[in-house]
Amino acid sequence: MPLGKYYCDYCDKQFQDTPSARRRHLEGVAHQRAKALWYDAARNSHWTNQVPDPRSLGKGICNRFVRTGSCVYGDSCKYYHPQR
């Protein structure tokens, strides 16, 4: 039986989904940093007293955009790109 793939939205990575691989990834420094960046971006754009951008409702924040300031998918990205 083939194993499934696990996709991490925080890190924008995909790997074979085994308990040890998932645990190794979730406990890794890169995952912890990416997750912290995601929550910082979300806190700064959504959870303040500002009115949220209506385009962001129902979408997650694009981790690639938060980390690098750009996204290869541009306007067609399925995630929200917060304004800086």
Q: Number of structural domains, the chain?
A: 2
Could you tell me if 40 and 70 lie in one domain?
no
Could you tell me if 57 and 29 lie in one domain?
no
Residue carrying the six token digits 């308990």: 19
Residue 33 CA: distances (Å) to CA of 11, 21, 75: 9, 18, 25
Could you tell me if 26 and 60 lie in one domain?
no
Could you tell me if 9 and 32 lie in one domain?
yes
Range of the domain at 76: 51-83
Report residue 7 as tokens.
Answer: 């996709």
Q: For 14-48, how does the pLDDT look when each residue is reduced to its tens digit (9 = 90+)? A: 889 999 999 999 898 888 888 888 787 777 665 55
Calpha distance 23→84 (Å, rounded): 33
For the whole model, what pTM was predicted?
Answer: 0.51
The end-to-end CA distance of the chain, in Å, is: 46
Q: 58: pLDDT confidence band, cut at 50, 70 and 90?
A: low
